[in-house]
Amino acid sequence: MPATMNPSTSRIQVRPSTEREGRKDYISIRDYGFWYGQKKALDAISLDIPERQVVAFIGPSGCGKSTLLRNLNRMNDLVDGISHEGNITINGRSIYDPGLEVISLRRRVGMVFQKSNPFPKSVYENVVFALRVMGVRDRSTLDEACETSLRKAALWDEVKDRLQDSALGLSGGQMQRLCIARAIANRPEILLMDEPCSALDPIATGKIEELIHELKEQFTIVIVTHSMQQAARVSDRTAFFYLGKQIEYDTTEKIFMNPSQAQTEAYISGRFG
Amino acid sequence: MASSSDSNTPRGEAWVWFTGLGLIIGLGMVIGLLSLVFVNGVTVFWAPPVPVAQIDDGRTVIGQLAQRRIRAGSLANAPQYERQYQVGLRELNGNSYLWVDEAKVKAETFPADVLGLERVEHGPAFVRPQALRKSDGKVIPITDPAFESALQAEVSAAVVVREKFEEITRHRIGEVNREMDEARVALRRAEDLKLADEIPVRRRQIDGLEERFVILKAEAQKVVNSGAVATLDSKDAAGRAVVIPLTQIVRAWFPNRLDTWGRTQLFASRLGEFIFHEPREANTEGGLMPAIFGTLVMTVFMSLLVTPFGVITAIYLREYAQNGPILRIVRISVNNLAGVPSIVFGVFGLGFFVYVLGGSIDQLFFSDQLKYNNNTPVFGTGGLLWCSLTLALMTLPVVIVATEEALSAVPRGMREASLASGASKWQTIRDILLPASAPGILTGVILAMARGAGEVAPLMLVGVVKLAPTLPFDTVAPFLHMDRKFMHLGFHVYDLGFQSPDSDAARPMVFATTLLLIALVVTLNIGAIWIRNRLRARFKGAAF
Ligand SMILES: Nc1ncnc2c1ncn2[C@@H]1O[C@H](COP(=O)(O)OP(=O)(O)OP(=O)(O)O)[C@@H](O)[C@H]1O
Ligand SMILES: [Mg+2]
């Protein structure tokens, strides 16, 4: 394919980065390396994620995007034989601080997975799950949290009459939005999204992207995506990874319009990966 | 492309047929077994016409055809048969069953006056009645059209009297006896410990119970006296006079007069007795209610014990235990446990549960009982609890393996979603993993139940008996007596088949009992499967 003919870049429209008030190094990753057993999956990652902004992780398959994302709420603790070097702090506090309980970390850092994974429970119970495990019993609190989260996830109107029905009866897109509603029900500070739209049609994808725009008023969002257009549409900053290394991290505008690394340029223009 | 159609020709077709053959053989065996048991088990209660057979040697036989088989020694191309008649009247004939060479049967007629009787003692009888001597002195000859209804009325009256009598002797007097035993133990203890206050109280209690015993005895006698003194005058096949008191009769029917509806009613009545009544005549007659009840209660208890044990163990193995050689050894041991012969569990149950655990319980909580009641153990002997525990242990691997499998089949995403929501590990297990794996766990429980309900060998060592005087359940607190011995359908089959003094009479009951055991296991399984399907329906949905 000739380098000049590059339809994907020409179509990409970058939303001007909106700088909001907030800590610039809200999440701070410093010289971070990570191993699955003997295999080094991440190497020398250093980046700061500002408060209430959307940061996109892009890069070819297997480059370690999910690994980094899943380390932000220590989901990788489930894997045997892992180890790390360097540090990650959230709002100044290390996530590996022995005094910090993993559970309380995960309550502050919500997560939406690539494949929607609703519980085999009612829609209502799915949304309020995080509150229930925190010990909230009060019915009106739960009802209210359920409604606000479903509204924020743009799902309320579709499911308000079937809150007690099984969540497994929803469509794929509805399920994914339900998972988002579930992740934000206990008002985390950070929302991690691992390819949240990869199984969705363009309309559902559009809804979720819309949602991300609204959610970033309140949450700091980290999103992994394979779609350049999506990264460009939703994110304020973008990090490009390759083979476990952080190649470039900058504002989305800069990455897509004027990347400083040749590898980034090649990946974005689709000549690579 | 052309060659692809060649290579698509299924080369392994012969193997498909071969596997199909295996399936057919397996199915054939199952269907054959079930239909054999079903046909033999159900026909026990059906009353066929009863012939009067004239035999060459001048004898006359009245009897229901029981079996027909090729005579030993007859030629294969010209088989000769012999017939077994159930002639009844054991007290006269010496044996209820009679083999007759078929070639020697001159004539078989089916006279309408042949009467079949089920009796309290000596088994059934087939006679030709002459007259009914009623309790009020009236005599109704067989020729009277009212004979049959009068006979049936007298039989029903006799049945009512007998039931009243049984109620008093078996249950109420039994209760007094039990209380008496307790009171005696208490008195002995009081005397031994010189409890001056208690001794007179106990004495008075015993006196009161003795009084009650005498009253009940008198009451029972009164019931007997009030009952029919009617008798049935009849003749047996040889023409000898047979006088049968109606108090002896359980059921009477004219096998050659009954229409299909009558036979069906008789069938239903016999089947009802079989299921809801207690056994008579060394278990060869009457019902199996205690055995059905015992099997049911024991199986349910076993499931209630094995499910929590198995599930907790599996949760630990799957969710908490460190992966490593020790875990592997534990898993292998659990799986091997499933292959241990069941009698070994019986020996273990006797050695550990009964003697060690039961013995310790007796030492700790029933030491008075031991000391003042001739060392009669309470829990230190076989019983319902030990049977349930032994079978629970035996079926534990099934539940563990099924639960582990079910837990590992829960999609990883669900577990991650729960943990990512800030749930602790235990909350994840309780709220997500266990509900989602409930159908799989229930499958394990169903398998365990099926295995446990049919097991006999270990039970013989830890608490099943041929005849239990009382059910493990009654109206005396604590209502469910886990220490009691009980009857079991599987053991009943064994006992009838191998230990019965009259093997001919026991044979049909073996089939009927087997059928009942199969029906019980199937019913239990259907119940569990129904619950499982309801659970499954809750977790099913349109995932994309
Ligand atoms: N549980 C695990 N155990 C061992 N290695 C793993 C595990 N998960 C991921 N890896 C390895 O770590 C590397 C990074 O994987 P990761 O899932 O982070 O990639 P990714 O960038 O998310 O890829 P994709 O875009 O395909 O999702 C890969 O080489 C992968 O094989
Ligand atoms: Mg990934």
Quick one: average pLDDT of A133-141?
Answer: 90
**Contacts of residue A130 in chain B, CB cutoff 8 Å?**
421-423
Q: Does A232 touch chain B (CB under 8 A)?
A: no
- Comparing CB atoms, the residue among A103, A115, A171 nearest residue B422 is A103
Taking 3-state DSSP, the helix, strand and coil percentages for chain A, each rounded to the nearest 5, stand at 40, 25, 40
| Neighbouring C-alpha atoms within 13 Å toward the C-beta of A141 | 11
CATH number of A7-122+189-268: 3.40.50.300
CA–CA min distance B322, chain A (Å): 10
- A133 CB neighbours in chain B (<8 A) are 418, 421-424, 427, 431
Which residues of chain A lie closer than 8 angstroms to B432, CB-CB? Answer: 119
CB contact under 8 A, A115 and B413: yes
If one residue of A36, A58, A83 were mutated to test the ligand 1 pocket, choosing by the most ligand atoms within 8 A of its CB, it would be: A36
Residue B343: its pLDDT value, please? 92
Mention every residue, 6+ apart, whose C-beta is less than 8 A from residue B109. Answer: B51, B52, B54
Closest CA to A163 of A200, A198, A128: A128
Higher per-residue pLDDT: A154 or B63:
B63
Reading chain B (544 residues) residue by residue, the pLDDT tens digits are 444 445 565 566 778 888 889 999 999 999 999 999 998 888 888 899 999 999 888 888 999 998 888 888 888 888 889 999 998 888 888 888 889 888 888 888 999 889 999 988 888 899 999 998 887 788 888 888 888 888 888 888 888 888 888 888 877 888 888 888 888 888 888 888 887 888 888 888 888 888 988 988 888 888 877 766 788 888 888 888 888 888 888 889 999 988 999 999 999 999 998 888 888 776 777 788 889 988 999 999 999 999 999 999 999 999 898 888 999 999 999 888 888 999 999 999 999 988 898 888 888 888 777 777 777 777 878 788 999 999 999 999 999 999 999 999 998 889 999 999 999 999 999 999 998 898 899 889 988 988 888 888 999 998 888 887 777 777 766 777 777 888 899 998 898 888 877 778 788 888 999 999 999 888 888 888 888 888 877 665 433 3
- Compute the nearest-CA separation of A63 from chain B (Å): 21
Q: Report the pLDDT value the prediction gives residue B543, as an integer from 0 to 100.
A: 36
Q: List the beta bridge partners of residue A249.
A: A239
How many domains are there within chain B? Answer: 3
pLDDT of amino acid A12: 58
Which pLDDT value is given to residue B6? 54
**Closest-CA distance of chain A to residue B323, Å:** 9
CB-CB contact of A42 with A32 (8 Å) = yes
Coil, strand, or helix at residue A110? strand
* Ligand number, closest to the Cα atom of A34: 1
| Closest chain A residue to B433, measured at CA | A119
Which of B84, B109, B130 is the C-terminal boundary of a domain?
B130
Residue A49, classified by CB atoms within 10 Å of its CB into exposed (0-12), middle (13-18) or buried (19+), is buried
For residue B371, the domain's CATH number is 1.10.3720.10
Contacts of B434 in chain A (CB under 8 A): none
User: pLDDT tens digit string along A71-105?
Assistant: 999 999 888 889 999 999 998 889 998 888 899 99
Q: Which of residues 117-136 of A touch B (CB under 8 A)?
A: 117-121, 129-130, 132-134
Task: Compute the nearest-CA separation of A172 from chain B (Å).
Answer: 6
Residues B186 and B327 occupy one common structural domain: no
Neighbouring-strand partners of residue B245: B231
Contacts of B543 in chain A (CB under 8 A): 168, 175
Q: Which ligand is nearest to the CA of A77?
A: 1
Judgement on whether residues B450 and B368 belong to the same structural domain of the protein = yes
- Contact B541/A at CB under 8 A: yes
Contact B420 A111 (CB under 8 A): yes
Q: Which ipTM did the prediction report?
A: 0.87
Q: Are residues B337 and B385 in the same domain?
A: yes
Chain B: closest CA distance from residue A271 (Å): 32
Please indicate whether residue A79, judged by its CB atom, sits closer than 6 Å to ligand 1.
Answer: yes
Q: Does ligand 1 come within 6 angstroms of the Cβ of A239?
A: no
Ligand 1 nearest-atom number relative to CA A60: 25
- What is the pLDDT at residue A143? 93
Whole-angstrom CA distances from B320 to A36, B62, B317, B333 are 21, 73, 6, 18
Q: How many CB pairs under 8 A join A and B?
A: 86
- B531 and B409 together in one domain: yes
Reported as half-sphere exposure (CB side, CA atoms, 13 A), residue B177 has a value of 10
- C-beta of residue A30 within 8 angstroms of C-beta of residue A43: no
Asked if B409 is an interface residue toward chain A (Cβ–Cβ < 8 A), one would say no
* B464: in domain: yes
Residues of A in contact with B436 (CB under 8 A): 119-120
Q: Are B218 and B151 contained in the same domain?
A: yes
Residues of A in contact with B541 (CB under 8 A): 120, 166-169
Is the minimum distance from the CB of A65 to ligand 1 under 6 angstroms?
yes
B423 in the same domain as B304: yes
Give Cα A103 to chain centroid, integer Å. 19
Q: Write out the residue range of the structural domain in which residue B107 sits.
A: 52-130
CB contact under 8 A, A133 and B424: yes
CB-CB contact of B541 with A166 (8 Å): yes
B69 touches chain A (CB under 8 A): no
Inform me whether the pLDDT recorded for A13 exceeds 80.
Answer: no
For residue B330, the distance in angstroms to the closest alpha carbon of chain A comes to 20
Per-residue model confidence (pLDDT) at position A42? 92
Tokens of B230: 């009617």
Task: Provide the residue ranges of all domains of chain A, joining segments of one domain with +.
Answer: 7-122+189-268
Ligand nearest to the CA of A65: 1
Give the per-residue pLDDT at A247.
92
User: Last residue of some domain: B278, B304, B320?
Assistant: B278
Q: Which of B416, B427, B544 sits opposite A172 (nearest CB)?
A: B544
For residue A128, what is the nearest residue in chain B, using CA coordinates? Answer: B421
For residue B387, the model assigns a pLDDT of 92
Q: Which residue has the higher pLDDT, A271 or A255?
A: A255
Output the average pLDDT for chain B: 86
- List CB contacts (< 8 A) between A121 and chain B: 435
B365 and B503 housed in the same domain: yes
Is the same domain home to B162 and B214? yes
- Is A129 close to B421, i.e. CB distance below 8 A? yes
Q: Are residues B342 and B267 in the same domain?
A: no
> pLDDT, tens digit, for every residue of A189-203?
899 999 988 877 888
The neighbour count for residue B422, using CB atoms within 10 Å, is 25
How many Cβ atoms sit within 10 Å of the Cβ of residue B516?
A: 22
- Tokens representing A134 are 């925190």
User: Can you read off the two tokens belonging to residue B286?
Assistant: 């009457």
Pick the atom of ligand 1 nearest to A70's CA.
Answer: 18
Residue B20 lies in a domain: no
pLDDT band at residue A4 under the 50/70/90 scheme: very low
CB of A70 within 6 A of ligand 1: the answer is no
Position B231 scores a pLDDT of 86
Distance to chain A for B319, nearest Cα, Å: 11
CA A109 to ligand 2 centroid distance, Å: 18
- Determine the Cα–Cα distance for residues B82 and B306; give it in Å rounded to an integer: 52
CB pair distance less than 8 Å for A119 and B417: yes
Q: For chain A, say whether B539 makes contact (Cβ under 8 Å).
A: yes
Kindly give the number of the ligand 1 atom that is closest to the alpha carbon of A64. 18
Question: What's the token pair of residue B424?
Answer: 């602790």
CB B256 within 8 A of CB B49: yes
* Per-window interface: B 322-351 vs A, CB < 8 A: 323
Residues B324 and B266 in one domain: no
Q: Tokens standing for A217?
A: 């008023």
Q: What spacing in Å lies between the alpha carbon of B325 and ligand 1's midpoint?
A: 28
Same domain assignment for residues B526 and B487:
yes
Question: Is B11 domain-assigned?
Answer: no
Asked if the structure places residue B12 within a domain, the reply is: no
Q: Note whether B323 contacts A80, CB cutoff 8 Å.
A: yes
The residue among B278, B302, B319 that closes a domain is B278
Q: Are B412 and B382 in contact (CB under 8 A)?
A: no
Q: What confidence score (pLDDT) does residue B477 get?
A: 67
Please indicate whether, in this complex, the C-beta atoms of A120 and B411 are within 8 angstroms of each other: no
Do B327 and B262 reside in the same domain of the chain? no
Contact B414 A117 (CB under 8 A): yes
Query: B133-149 pLDDT, tens per residue?
Result: 887 788 888 888 888 88
